[in-house]
Structure 1
């Protein structure tokens, strides 16, 4: 259950008016204190918050929506203990270790491109890549680039400088490495590595010239204050993309019995993150189906400007056709490949 923390006196009273000037007109994201004030707005102000977040998205990002597909190159058997993840080899979850071959990887990229997507992310459940995984990445990225016109992203855990340089060399467009949650809450979520280790990988990726994709999961038991902290920490990192995941409790994991976040709380969080990150690609990712149900459209009209289509790594998503139809109904064009290069 989300703890309620009172917003500082004087901040919440006119927070949307302040945000309209500061974020919409000037393009400066919310501070941590201001983000908390938005998260503490009463339900009757939610529509106002979503409306402002949509205006901010349209002003600073435009109407286009970036579409991405993801595939797991190496599934399960991860040595880390991320408490939300059924791919950890430390938990009694039903996911078992498996590798995807290169032809299957290429076929998945082709299917993703056929939806109109411009991004294809290769994901591996590892602490960090070993020589075998880097070899698979080199072969896989080359095969994809020979077969289909799509940007290739990767998510391979924590990296060394040498591995960062190799990913740049083989043409990886964007690197995903989520901070997952606020720094103050991270030890409750993961104990086998630190928040600072993740931050180190992200700064190396950014300094090497790859686009940075970094977000996390909300609804893992963190307080609203910690969500505001997380939004502010992401703003400091200045990622190109922030994937917004909502906890989908997985059997056999330490967070398997956590309640699902309410749709209202999820939408409030999306809008607040948009106001904290006015120019960032904010992507609907895992858990939105179970959390928002048929209310996903309100998120797209409340700050979201990117979606993952199809299935996720270990959970089912919506059919790509449904998301594409929703975007067409909303008259939101899919971002062209040339616009993401």
Structure 2
């Protein structure tokens, strides 16, 4: 089996001849605590402990990433899940999510657009050709109406006829009947993000509640679909609220958590929000892995902006074990070939389809 690499060892610094070698720096107390609790026992960090990780000094961040990588290998394995996403309905959403350029409430350049079924099938083929095991159909809606549900049903049938890939959906808030239907049609995974902490949520969304999001997450799990429930960090939340979000996600016990970093979009209320600092983004990756040792933690939107190529590599060696390849819904991502080449360079095998079923 291919071995995932350890983080390269730091090179020793020069010291004057005749002086004794420097003693190794002691591990930061919260990392020593996490090594025992999370790595050895598999118990995720609580809110206060996550906050300590988010507050680590810069010099301790590499050690936190090393530990998060060890946790990922011990509790999730070495392979990486690859996914592609495509929007069946873009723009014109009636909700006021302040980060989203697809909201019809704001003066955003994104306009409503529907993708036809042949386009979805072609996108699924292209996604499968990258080695991805998951293809997610996304719609910018409050929740699916009859027209959208019928399109999704037909699309699933057509994709299954031509492509061997798991199908996921992200269609907003669901009714019980809609959750039943998606499960019956063979939807493998459903995405419904919490986005941010309960305490910060009213500052980001006012047209629906945190509890409504939780209800859809409950329906998804009850119907036997895998729950994909993600986070968007860097929206102006405090570190305390970021820690709150990590443990609220952990309490849901989702199969997967996509980790997004805000890419401020023109025309949205958050267009002037500064891009998240790369070191803070890496702290967040380590903290979320240590809060959720067994969860699929996926690189998602905004990583290219917050982290760049070097940071992307560090995150893959710091707890990330899944990647969205190609473009996102309204923003450009790294070319799929670049991510796949990086995974190959790092010796990280792509999860095979039969393992994702």
TM over 0.5: yes
Match of 2:320 among 304, 308, 330: 304
Partner deviation per Cα, 1:301-324 (whole Å, 9 max, x = no partner): 000000000000000001000000
Do the aligned residues in 1 keep the contact of 2:90 with 2:113 (CA within 8 Å)?
Answer: yes
What stretches of structure 1 move > 6 A for 4+ residues in a row? none
Give unpaired runs (5+ residues) of structure 2: 1-26
Cα deviation code 1:59-89 (max 9, x no counterpart): 0011100000000000000000000000000
Partner of 1:255: 270
**2:196 and 2:232 in contact (8 A); partners too:** yes
In structure 1, how many angstroms separate the alpha carbons of the residues matched to 2:135 and 2:101? 22
Give aligned pairs, total.
330
In the alignment, structure 1 segments of 5+ residues that lack a partner are 1-11
Deviation at 1:216, TM superposition (A): 1.6
Partner of 2:340: 324
2:34 maps to which residue?
19
SS of alignment partner, residue 334 of structure 2? coil
Number of the residue aligned with 1:175: 190
Matches of residues 105-254 of structure 1 in structure 2 within 5 Å? 105-254=120-269
Measured against aligned partners, the alpha-carbon deviations of 1:135-181 in whole angstroms (never above 9, x if no partner) come to 00000000000110000000000000000000001110000000000
Q: Give the 5 Å matches for 1:41-60.
A: 41-60=56-75
Residues 1:13 and 1:45: Cα distance change in structure 2 (over 3 Å): closer
Q: Could you tell me how far apart the structure 1 residues matched to 2:54 and 2:205 are?
A: 25
For the pair 1:313 / 2:329, whether they are aligned, the reply is yes
For residues 256 and 166 of structure 1, what CA distance do their matches in structure 2 show?
A: 37
The residue aligned with 1:5 is none
Structure 2 length-normalised TM: 0.92
SS at 1:193 equivalent: coil
Contact 2:135 2:167 in 1 (8 A): yes
Structure whose CA Rg is larger: 2
Task: Provide the secondary structure at the position in 2 that maps to 1:175.
Answer: strand
